[in-house]
Every structure is written in C-alpha cells, then in structure tokens.
Amino acid sequence: MRKIAITDIHGCYLSFEALLDKTAFAKNDELYLLGDFIDRGPGSKKVLDRIINLKSEGFNINCIAGNHDFAMLDAKTDPSFFSSWYNGWGGKQTMESFGVRSLDHIPGKYWDFINGLDMTIEIDGYIMVHAGLNFNVKNPLRPDIDMLYLRNWYGQIKYGWLGERKIIHGHTPMKKYDIEYMLQRLEKDKVIDIDGGCFAKYHEGKGYLCAFDFSNNKLYFQKCLDDVSGYWGR
C-alpha cells in the first residue's frame, strides 16, 4: 500500500488523470490531495467530479483545503469579493467549467465537498497542509487561515516541536528541479513543497503536476496537458 500526495491541481483535469495513470494509483493505495482543486485551469468541475467519484467507488482519498477552495466559498457568500475571485483568482474558468453564471447554480454536493475539507492531515510521521504552518503560535497544528496562505516560513520552523516529522505542502509553485532537490534534503530540512505550478506552464521550469509517493520517497511529474491560455489571456 502506497501513500501518495498531490497538490494544486487548479482545474487541470487532463493532467490529473494522466498523473494518476503514471502513478498506477489503485484501490489499495492512499491518495492525499492538498487543496486548490479549482480555478485557473479549464476543468475544475471534472476534477471535483473525479475526486467525488473515486471516493464513492471505494478508493482511499483524503483531501484538505486550499486557499482557492475557501475563496470560492467566500465568493458565494460575499458579493463584494465575487468580482475579485472571478477576474483575479481564476474563478471565471471555474464557473465556465460548471456552465453557470451564478455560484448559486452549482449543485450542493460540490459545496458539501468544499465545506467538509479539513486543513491538515498527519499520518506516519508526515504533516500535510496546503501552504504551511505558523510556528509563531503555541500549536502550529491548530486550524488557522494562515495554513492556506503562508509563504516564506521555513526560517520559522521549530525543529524541536517538529521532531522527526516531515511537512508536505504546496501553494507556492516550484520549478521541477527545486522539488527534486527538496526531496534530496528532506531528511535534513523536514519539508518539501510539491507544487510544480501545473497552471504556470508558460513559466520556465514549471507547468508540472507532481505526485509524491512518500511511502517510497518517489516523485512523479506530469507535464501540463490542459489549455490554461484562458486564465493567462493568451
């Protein structure tokens, strides 16, 4: 049984499917998805459908929230934020994938999925979180919005508190070779960012969806197969 983590799919359904195939993901594996399922890419609905269907078919799928997932909730409840989400976050592509003009027309099962997302998972000596942990608070594992937005936090890591545990996260897109380097240093640094910037395919070194089989210390990379030109205005 393998344990595999993937993050920041961002509506890149074709890339997600290809990566699952590349890892030969099976029912006796465990899949951990670290948020930002939606926005920017053209297939947000298909990504959510695939995850929901895999769970209903008995696959072991464990999901946590990303900032884009919670932003979609905010856009639904806060009209003043909707325009920012739609035009700046990639919400336009998400709504187009559902074929709706109002978030109120998105079926309830998708909202139930997003509302049910936790912020962290801890298993087998690994802590999984979307963006990072705030080590300036007494308990870095206490659910907090910072977990969805943090950047540049490695210098704050309290290794005494962390012990032998390691942190897997995403949120900040990395170049492929930087992710590979982080894996080489994982035993020492205790942290790895596996966001290959799938939606950022026009940026050198990025444009990959990454899977980390942390039960075998193995990385898989899938080059972006999705048309993200709409988000980038190309």
The pTM of the whole model exceeds 0.95: yes
- For residue 129, the cross-strand partners are 120
- Write the pLDDT tens digit of every residue in 87-99: 999 999 999 999 9
pLDDT at 168: 99
d(CA 32, CA 34): 6
Q: Where are the domains of the chain?
A: 3-232
- Write the pLDDT tens digit of every residue in 161-173: 999 999 999 999 9
Taking alpha carbons only, the member of 23, 2, 9 closest to residue 226 is 9
pLDDT at 135 over 90: yes
- Write the pLDDT tens digit of every residue in 18-47: 999 999 999 999 999 999 999 999 999 999
pLDDT at 234 over 90: no
- For residue 209, the cross-strand partners are 222
pLDDT at 107 over 90: yes
pLDDT at 207 over 90: yes
pLDDT at 211 over 90: yes
Residue recorded with tokens 């490695």: 154
- Write the pLDDT tens digit of every residue in 139-161: 999 999 999 999 999 999 999 99
Q: What is the CATH number of domain 3-232?
A: 3.60.21.10
DSSP letters spanning 75-108: HHH-HHHHHHHHHHSSHHHHHHHHT-SSGGGS-H
